[in-house]
Amino acid sequence: ESAGASYVTAGHIFETDCKKGLNGRGIAFLSEITSSVNLPVLAIGGIRAENIALVKRAGARGACVMSGAFACEDVNKYFHELRNI
């Protein structure tokens, strides 16, 4: 914050194929980050429709999604659904 950052990316929160074999840091880690800074926090790593509500409850202002976007048939529909969870 003192160096002028405008947001923080925190991850990897859940298991992801991008980091095979490494456990995610989890929701407690994300909550610790969101409560420790005054900047928007974006969660990354294994974010899916099944867990994005947990990410929001942990205080993240957003999420970075890769695998789901690449695998879906309709990207606009996919992100619309994620935003409305």
The residues that are catalytic are: 12
Q: CB neighbours (10 Å) of residue 83?
A: 10
CA distance 57 to 51: 10
**With contact defined as beta carbons under 8 Å apart, do 6 and 24 qualify?**
no
